[in-house]
Amino acid sequence: MPEHGGQRPGGTVDLRTADRAALRLVWVPGEELDALGVLPETLDVRPIPKAPGGDPGLADVEFVVMPMRTPSGDPTGLFAGLWERMTSLRYVQVPSAGVDWIIGDIPPGVAVCSARGVHDIPVSEWVLAAVLAGFKDLDRFRNDMHEGRWASEDLPELSGANVLLLGYGSIAHAVERRLEPFEPKSIVRLARHAREGVLTMDALPGVLPAADVVIVLLPLTAETRGLVGTDFLAAMKPGALLVNAARGKIVDTAALLEALRTGRIRAVLDVTDPEPLPADHPLWRAPGLLVTPHIAGASERLAARIIALVHAQLERLARDEPLENVVREGY
């Protein structure tokens, strides 16, 4: 396999100066290879080896596309202990919007690209369903149905409600578009960086007490880990709904359990801490809670969207153009 510059990338190597006769090695999940179709001739696109550590291309691979899942369930295990030996590696493309599960393993100088945009539709649809199910107490009525109980009550409306979006990336933007036809009173947006219509997280104490529903769409970082804890939950409006479609570790499980047991808030979670949730965990039996098993982003159309993203990224790579969705500052 020809060499590709031979040095760890760190912003000093310009792809445009590379030997254009050399094929640039790319590893992709085997199940994606045929679906990618016709690719640029300057790329040597191969399936990820079953034993990457023993493959002669390990030091030459320039671009790795991580699989959505592996037999072990842990995609990072494929390259455990190997990243530093991949001396030509320049890019790692992941199939998820969040990168917390891999970003700490990747050596400096290697760009990690998220799948921003790929999950917007299914996750935003799940969030809308979660908000409506929470407002209309569908989980309790389902339980009443199983017990043959007919017990009606007045329910809150999404119309006229105050919505707080924690995190305002592409998924949150898609959530907002789906919420707007229900005519909420307000939609307040918080994110790490201020921009037009978006406040920083410093504004949280002033806006949290008024929110009827808090939708967590933040990435998991050192700053957001455990953010939704005792103080946060105590500041929420009594009876408000917490929806988490981000990462389980953003919510302090013990604090959430206490808030649910006292009836202070209600919650719908697609992610939990721990995850998967053990069968004997108290969250399963917590009042006012609906849990789904991290399926918000699951979709029968997801694979096709990921293939389209990977194909576009490889086209950019071959043209020496900047790749999309390069993660910066852990986001």
Q: Would the pLDDT of 76 be above 90?
A: no
What pLDDT score does 71 carry? 54
Separation of alpha carbons 5 and 161, rounded Å = 57
SS3 331: coil
Domains of the chain listed by start with CATH number: 15-118+302-318 (3.40.50.720), 120-291 (3.40.50.720)
List pLDDT tens digits, range 234-269: 999 999 999 999 999 999 999 999 999 999 999 999
Assess whether pLDDT exceeds 50 at residue 297: yes
pTM to 2 decimal places: 0.89
Alpha-carbon 259 to chain mean position? 26
Active site residues: 247, 275, 294
Q: Does residue 226 contact residue 218 with C-beta atoms inside 8 Å?
A: no
End-to-end CA distance of the chain: 34
Q: How far from 155 is each of 74, 138, 204, 292, CA to CA, in Å?
A: 42, 11, 27, 22
How far apart CA 167 and CA 170 sit, in angstroms, is 9
Q: Residue 250: CB partners within 8 Å, gap ≥ 6?
A: 216, 218, 220, 224, 225, 226, 227, 228, 244
Q: What are phi and psi of 113, to 5 degrees?
A: -110, 130
Q: For residues 256 and 169, give the distance between their C-alpha atoms in angstroms, rounded to a whole number.
A: 25
* Bond preceding residue 107 cis, omega within 30 of 0: no
Instruction: State both tokens at 98.
Output: 């969040």
pLDDT in tens, 104-132: 999 999 999 999 999 999 999 999 999 99
Q: pLDDT tens digit string along 171-196?
A: 999 999 999 999 999 999 999 999 99
- Band the pLDDT of 19: cuts 50, 70, 90: very low
Is 215 in contact with 188 (CB distance < 8 Å)?
no
The model's confidence at residue 5, banded by pLDDT at 50, 70 and 90, is: very low
Token reading at 2: 């020809």
% residues pLDDT > 70 (the chain): 91
142 Cα distance to chain centroid? 29
- Hunting for tokens 């400096």 — which residue is that? 108
DSSP H stretches of helix in the chain: 30-33, 120-135, 138-146, 170-179, 204-207, 230-235, 253-261, 302-318
Q: Which residues contact 298 (CB under 8 A, 6 or more apart)?
A: 122
Tell me if 255 sits within 8 A of 249, measured CB to CB: no
Q: What is the pLDDT of residue 328?
A: 84
Q: Is residue 16 scored above 80 in pLDDT?
A: no
- Residues 6 or more apart whose CB falls under 8 angstroms from that of 293 comprise 270, 276, 277
State mean pLDDT over 317-331.
89
